Amino acid sequence: MDDKRLNCILVGLKRHELTFRERQFIEAVEKYFHEKSVLTDQQESILEGIYREKVWIRKTFFSQNNLPKGSSSKAA
């Protein structure tokens, strides 16, 4: 993974609510990358998985298009 892709993922993840373990992992990956300038295949895979999951959750549950018909986003 190059530094541009890593940066894109890290910036994207900062927009999402993360669990304590996810935050710990991401901080460790950032530190490792700054020290070694490379990530392991396992680190890349887990990081990409977290990112895809958060993007999927946002698209699925927070999209205006997924509200049931007759519902509005405003509380009555």
pLDDT of residue 65: 61
Q: What confidence tier does 76 reach under pLDDT thresholds 50, 70, 90? A: very low
State the chain's mean pLDDT as an integer.
Answer: 85
**Residue 73 resides in a domain:** no
* Residue written as token pair 């990112």: 51
Q: Is the pLDDT of residue 66 over 70?
A: no
**Residue 51 resides in a domain:** yes
Angle (CA) 44 26 57, round 5°: 80
The closest of 65, 64, 45, 43 to 53, measured between CA atoms, is 45
Separation of alpha carbons 48 and 8, rounded Å? 11
Q: Is the pLDDT of residue 40 over 60?
A: yes
**Residue 72 resides in a domain:** no
**Residue 69 resides in a domain:** no
Check: CB of residue 10 under 8 Å from CB of residue 54: no
Domain count, the chain: 1
Domain that holds residue 32: 3-62
Q: What is the DSSP code (8-state) at residue 64?
A: G
pLDDT of residue 49: 96
**Residue 68 resides in a domain:** no
Q: What confidence tier does 30 reach under pLDDT thresholds 50, 70, 90? A: very high
